Amino acid sequence: KMSNPDAPEDSSSKLLKSDGQEMGGAWPGQAFSLQVKKVLFHEKSKYQDVLVFESTTYGNVLVLDGIVQATERDEFSYQEMLAHLPLFAHQNPKKVLIIGGGDGGILREVLKHDTVEKVTMCEIDEMVIDVAKKFLPGMSCGFSHEKLDLYCGDGFEFLKNHKNEFDVIITDSSDPVGPAESLFGQSYYELLRDALKEDGILSSQGESVWLHLPLIAHLVAFNRKIFPTVNYAQSIVSTYPSGSMGYLICAKSDTRDVTTPARVLSDEQVKNMNLRFYNSEVHKAAFVLPQFVRNALEKK
Ligand code: SAM
């Protein structure tokens, strides 16, 4: 979810009114609110304003620089789709990299794949990991897993030292104002391509079609110059602005269609993996786009 670049620079300091309204000026003309029961944590890290509050109806909520990142009630939609679209599009993902993802939800989903041998994660802000461990236990449950290699640092810098290494790379970033700015440019996607193996697949947080269609069209257009396969999917996430979230899925080779799963799940497997949003039908349906989005993303 992208913030408004015209918003005042210190907007994060006025980030939350007592009704839990996003106040950063991120979405001009609209704002999202959640009722606050209790503020559990509020500090400035080296990189951003970090807030966790208990809401009356969505459980505990993580807010970075005044923008809701995840709530205990609806996070599964975003986490499952961002993680499982690329992972199930891949025949045999063994090495997975997560950039960002400090709340741990994407890590939790990646670890559900038996094929995965090693998960590397590079999150810039240790404070996000610490508060997730304390206040978001359902998301952060994978941080002590033996398959995890955890690094604290900038994802852009991290990628420069990794070539031809990963089957799947998932960018679970915040919005492109603040520490995640470097994760939205063409040079970042060139680094992602180089870090992927030849049959590698990536997914990235892809904003909302109701708020940022020109930005999404720009991301898709420059990625078509880098990857032979570029696709956009979306799902509903109640507490993201306008209720929808997009996922950019790019593959380094065009040998298979990533809009259909390479590994199809039975109902039994869906249950055993404790999937609450993703299934093999949802995978295919997520790439079916409304006409106004198709028009905006069509090849120019
Ligand atoms: N799902 C959320 C959303 O879009 O609302 C985002 C989740 S949040 C876990 C995103 C994480 O990306 C944050 O923990 C933030 O610290 C991290 N991050 C931001 N910029 C980064 C960078 N340059 N390198 C690595 N991690 C970064």
Please state, in angstroms and as integers, the Cα–Cα distance from residue 241 to each residue in 77, 111, 245, 296, following that order. 14, 28, 8, 20
Helices and strands: H and E segment counts in the chain: 9, 11
Atom of ligand 1 nearest to the CA of 1: 4
pLDDT band at 14 (very low <50, low <70, confident <90, very high): very low
**Pair of tokens at residue 249:** 């899925």
Residue 13, classed as helix, strand or coil, is helix
More confident residue, 14 or 121: 121
pLDDT of residue 79: 98
The residue whose CA is least distant from atom 27 of ligand 1 is: 100
C-alpha dist (Å) from residue 244 to 33, 176, 192, 205, 240 = 16, 18, 25, 12, 6
Q: What pLDDT does 300 receive?
A: 63
Q: Are 151 and 122 in contact (CB under 8 A)?
A: yes
The answer to whether 86 touches 168, Cβ cutoff 8 Å, is: yes
Ligand 1 pocket residue status of 72, Cβ below 6 Å: no
pTM of the model: 0.93
Lookup: tokens for 144: 């002590």
Cβ pair 67, 175 in contact under 8 A: yes
Map residue 20 onto helix, strand or coil.
coil
Please tell me the distance between residue 176's alpha carbon and the centre of ligand 1 in angstroms.
10
Structure tokens at 296: 């905006």
Give the whole-number percent of the chain exceeding pLDDT 90.
82
Cα dihedral angle (47, 53, 58, 59), rounded to 10 degrees?
110
Question: Would you say residue 247 has pLDDT above 60?
Answer: yes
pLDDT digits (tens, 9 = 90+) for 88-118: 999 999 999 999 999 999 999 999 999 999 9
Kindly report the average pLDDT of the chain as a whole number: 91
Continuous H helices in 46-171? 75-89, 105-110, 126-135, 155-159
Pairing of strands 118-123, 36-44: unpaired
Residue 129 alpha carbon, nearest atom of ligand 1: 14
Nearest CA owner, ligand 1 atom 14:
102
Checking if the pLDDT of 201 tops 50, the result is: yes
Could you tell me the two tokens for 40?
A: 């559990």
pLDDT digits (tens, 9 = 90+) for 50-72: 999 999 999 999 999 999 999 99
Protein residue whose Cα sits closest to atom 3 of ligand 1? 69
CB of 123 within 6 A of ligand 1: the answer is yes
Q: How far is the CA of 198 from the centre of ligand 1 (A)?
A: 26
> In angstroms, rounded to a whole number, what is the distance separating the alpha carbons of residues 120 and 101?
11
How far, in Å, are 98, 125, 183, 194 from residue 188 at the CA level? 14, 19, 6, 10
Q: Is 105 in the pocket of ligand 1 (CB under 6 A)?
A: no
| Position 21 confidence tier, pLDDT thresholds 50, 70, 90 | low
| Region 258-279 average pLDDT | 98
Cβ neighbours for 168, distance < 8 A, ≥ 6 positions apart: 86, 87, 90, 93, 95, 96, 97, 200, 201, 202, 203
Distances (CA, A) of 221 to 175, 211, 226, 232, 294: 19, 18, 9, 11, 13
pLDDT of 27 strictly over 50: yes
- Are the CB atoms for 223 and 195 separated by under 8 Å? no
CA of 180 to the centre of ligand 1 (A): 6
By three-state DSSP, how is residue 8 classified? coil
Take atom 6 of ligand 1 and give the residue whose Cα is closest: 174
Alpha carbon of 103 to ligand 1 centroid (Å): 9
